[in-house]
């Protein structure tokens, strides 16, 4: 009778829950993994306070009081699945969960170091980019990353040491449900209290997107961040429809941006000439007109500046799409989506006033050419949708030599002139270079700069060699075009797609001791150089960004820029009284021309995201 009563007691809800709680309490590896993941989460949040995740900036770790119960809840959620297994299987399950978490954290760190954001489900559409990227990925590794695997080594050792006790690990569905349901209920409560009622600490948020992904990560831990990202991925995958009120706000934004100035001497200056635009991989502004050991880094660019319009306060505005964002922004004057890459998510979007469409309206033949595969960043279908009549990739060239991501700049730039000469004039040809891509380690036979000892074996030294290599073969390409007579009637435009050594390895530059300060900072500047043989050069210091390329070039070639004002974010840098630009990091650089202009112009970052998702600019 007594045993029966005990059995009944154990089967009551209270008894069952107590038993499950005891199972959790006595689970050695549950608590080991809980502590390990919590420590790794805190270290991760601390590391991303540094722009290159290689140190800790104490004042930037937390944006408000850390919501530790939220941290605990997410850790319990992922570890709950371990209790669906028993004996040795349970021990292995906890190891697998902990390993997956470490891989996720390390992947986030590597991506953060190169892109200032974190991994996302949107990236699954970008797997074609992995070809030939191994060296770039490896270059993102730092010694501090080892802290995310040390606990795994210890856990494996403990598993062997305690293997005789594995047979006592019980499967407990109730323990699983407890660790799943209770944290979920708390997270729902915290969300309602903090996000809806605003009863949290100052600046505290839970399930609410922040302007900074770092803050969202700090609010939720990487585990919570990616759960939240999954939800946002689902929401953002749905077609976005602009309401009538949003439409009015959009129109007002474009109206407020207009300047309505009379034309000046730059209008139609290059009307009827051919146009060749080159996006130069990782070209930063600080190398222009600079020398190392009395050797010019960019002798070709330095030479043509005397016949160019040179914008020396020009900034990259790329985001998750990096190089492909550079192409998008330059060709459409529209800012990219804030999650994933625009070329992968919306490759069929059309843009009425894209640069190729503008040039076609002026009677131009258009061509886009790349020395890599058309699937890389999904550039080929995207550029065709943007308006290029023809797009050719590496399969249309002799692949004599491959460096990094595609045909070497030497080989490609030697073959490109023949493709250009075959075009019907007037033409607009667009292309990119690749060899100066990170990790800036070109073959020794192409390293022509004699570096000082301080720069040997450094990323900075490698960057100088890579840029000088591309500059050399750009020069030879221009010579080919000149000898054939094409250059006499062709405007050649150069711009950097994004920063290079300062984007990826800024933390390493701090450890270099080299003369001068010119190489220490770049501040996201990339050059915009518009070259025309025989033109008397001019340097313009007006603040601008990649989105300003389209209206500036359109103006030079005689297009009606006023007609496109409602469909582009940029402004004509050759006819403006404003002096500012905005960055994808939500920075406003320059000066306001009226109170509130800063906030108004920063709206363009999110506006671009919405309008692309709604296919607002379709032709």
Q: Quick one: 354 exposed, middle or buried, by C-beta within 10 A (0-12, 13-18, 19+)?
A: buried
C-alpha 378/C-alpha 546 separation (Å) is: 20
Residue found by looking up tokens 């492909």 in the block: 324
Upstream peptide bond of 40 is cis (omega within 30 degrees of 0): no
**One of 323, 324, 369, 408 is an active-site residue; which one?**
323
Please give the helix or strand (H or E) that residue 295 lies within, else none: strand 295-296
The reply, when asked if residue 437 is annotated as ligand binding, is: yes
Q: How far is CA 312 from the centre of its chain?
A: 23
Structure tokens that stand for 59 in this block: 């004042």
Structure tokens that stand for 328 in this block: 């998008």
User: Checking phi first, is residue 62 left (phi over 0); if not, alpha (psi -120 to 50) or beta?
Assistant: beta
The reply, when asked if residue 226 is annotated as ligand binding, is: no
Upstream peptide bond of 426 is cis (omega within 30 degrees of 0): yes
C-alpha 495/C-alpha 22 separation (Å) is: 64
Report the first-to-last Cα separation within the chain, whole angstroms.
83
The reply, when asked if residue 498 is annotated as ligand binding, is: yes
**Do residues 36 and 155 make contact, with C-beta atoms less than 8 angstroms apart?**
yes
**Do residues 567 and 351 make contact, with C-beta atoms less than 8 angstroms apart?**
yes
C-alpha 94/C-alpha 115 separation (Å) is: 31
Q: Residue 542: which of 211, 259, 256 has the closest Cα?
A: 259
Q: Residue 399: which of 388, 389, 391, 410 has the closest Cα?
A: 410
C-alpha 55/C-alpha 75 separation (Å) is: 24
Cβ count within 10 A of residue 362? 15
**Do residues 406 and 399 make contact, with C-beta atoms less than 8 angstroms apart?**
no
- 525 secondary structure, DSSP code: B
**Do residues 238 and 520 make contact, with C-beta atoms less than 8 angstroms apart?**
no
For 426-457, the DSSP string reads: SEEEEEE--TT-TT----GGG--S---GGGTT
Can you tell me whether residue 258 is helix, strand or coil?
A: coil
> Is 425 annotated in the active site?
no
C-alpha 349/C-alpha 383 separation (Å) is: 10
Q: Which residues contact 19 (CB under 8 A, 6 or more apart)?
A: 10, 172, 174
C-alpha 503/C-alpha 522 separation (Å) is: 9
φ/ψ of 372, rounded to 5, equals -125, -175
Q: Which residues contact 568 (CB under 8 A, 6 or more apart)?
A: 332, 333, 334, 353, 547, 550, 551
Residue spans of alpha helices (H) in 333-458: 342-345, 355-361, 379-386, 409-421
C-alpha 309/C-alpha 528 separation (Å) is: 8
Residue numbers in the known binding site are 281, 437, 497-498
* Residues that are catalytic: 323
Residue numbers in the known binding site for Mn(2+) are 281, 497-498
Residue numbers in the known binding site for substrate are 437
């Amino acid at each position: 009778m007594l045993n029966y009563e005990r059995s009944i007691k154990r089967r009551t809800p209270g008894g069952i829950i107590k038993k499950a709680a005891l199972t959790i309490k006595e689970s050695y590896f549950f608590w080991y993994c809980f502590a390990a993941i919590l420590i790794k989460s805190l270290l991760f949040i601390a590391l991303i306070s540094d722009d290159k995740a290689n140190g800790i900036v104490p004042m930037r770790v937390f944006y408000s009081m850390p919501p530790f119960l939220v941290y605990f809840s997410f850790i319990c959620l992922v570890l709950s699945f371990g209790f669906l297994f028993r004996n040795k299987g349970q021990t292995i399950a906890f190891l697998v969960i902990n390993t997956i978490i470490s891989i996720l954290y390390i992947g986030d760190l590597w991506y953060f170091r190169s892109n200032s954001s974190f991994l996302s489900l949107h990236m699954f559409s970008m797997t074609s980019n992995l070809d030939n990227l191994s060296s770039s990925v490896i270059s993102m590794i730092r010694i501090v990353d080892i802290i995310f695997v040390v606990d795994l080594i210890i856990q494996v050792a403990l598993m062997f040491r305690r293997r005789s006790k594995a047979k006592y690990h019980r499967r407990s569905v109730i323990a699983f449900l407890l660790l799943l349901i209770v944290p979920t209920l708390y997270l729902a409560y915290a969300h309602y209290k903090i996000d809806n009622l605003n009863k949290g600490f100052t600046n505290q948020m839970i399930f609410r997107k922040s302007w900074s992904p770092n803050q969202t990560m700090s609010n939720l831990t990487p585990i919570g961040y990616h759960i939240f990202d999954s939800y946002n991925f689902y929401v953002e995958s749905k077609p976005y429809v602009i309401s009538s009120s949003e439409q009015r706000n959009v129109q007002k934004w474009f109206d407020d941006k207009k300047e309505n100035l009379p034309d000046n001497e730059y209008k139609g200056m290059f009307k009827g000439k051919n146009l060749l635009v080159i996006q130069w991989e990782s070209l930063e502004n600080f190398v222009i007109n600079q020398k190392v050991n009395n050797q010019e880094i960019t002798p070709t660019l330095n030479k043509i500046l005397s016949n160019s319009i040179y914008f020396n306060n020009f900034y990259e505005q790329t985001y998750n799409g990096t190089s492909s964002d550079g192409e998008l922004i330059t060709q459409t004057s529209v800012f990219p989506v804030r999650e994933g890459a625009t070329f992968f998510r919306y490759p069929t979007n059309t843009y009425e006033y894209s640069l190729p469409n503008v040039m076609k309206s002026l009677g131009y033949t258009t061509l886009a050419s790349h020395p890599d595969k058309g699937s890389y960043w999904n550039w080929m279908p995207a550029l065709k949708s943007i308006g290029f009549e023809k797009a050719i990739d590496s399969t249309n060239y002799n692949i004599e030599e491959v460096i990094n991501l595609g045909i070497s700049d030497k080989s490609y730039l030697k073959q490109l002139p023949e493709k250009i000469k075959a075009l019907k004039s007037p033409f607009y040809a667009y292309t990119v270079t690749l060899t100066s891509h990170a990790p800036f380690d070109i073959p020794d036979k192409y390293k022509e700069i004699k570096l000082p000892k301080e720069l040997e074996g450094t990323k900075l030294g490698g960057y100088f060699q890579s840029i000088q290599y591309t500059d050399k073969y750009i020069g030879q390409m221009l010579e080919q075009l000149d000898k054939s007579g094409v250059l006499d009637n062709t405007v050649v435009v150069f711009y950097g797609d994004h920063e290079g050594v300062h984007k990826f390895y800024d933390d390493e530059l701090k450890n270099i001791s080299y003369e001068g300060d010119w190489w220490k900072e770049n501040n996201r500047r990339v050059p915009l150089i518009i070259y025309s043989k025989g033109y008397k050069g001019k340097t313009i210091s007006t603040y601008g960004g990649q989105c300003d390329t389209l209206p500036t070039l359109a103006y030079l070639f005689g297009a009606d820029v006023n007609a496109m004002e409602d469909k582009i974010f940029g402004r004509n840098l050759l006819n403006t009284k404003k002096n500012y630009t905005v960055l994808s990091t939500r920075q406003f650089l320059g000066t306001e021309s009226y109170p509130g202009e800063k906030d108004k112009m920063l709206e363009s970052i999110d506006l671009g995201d919405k309008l692309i998702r709604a296919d607002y600019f379709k032709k």
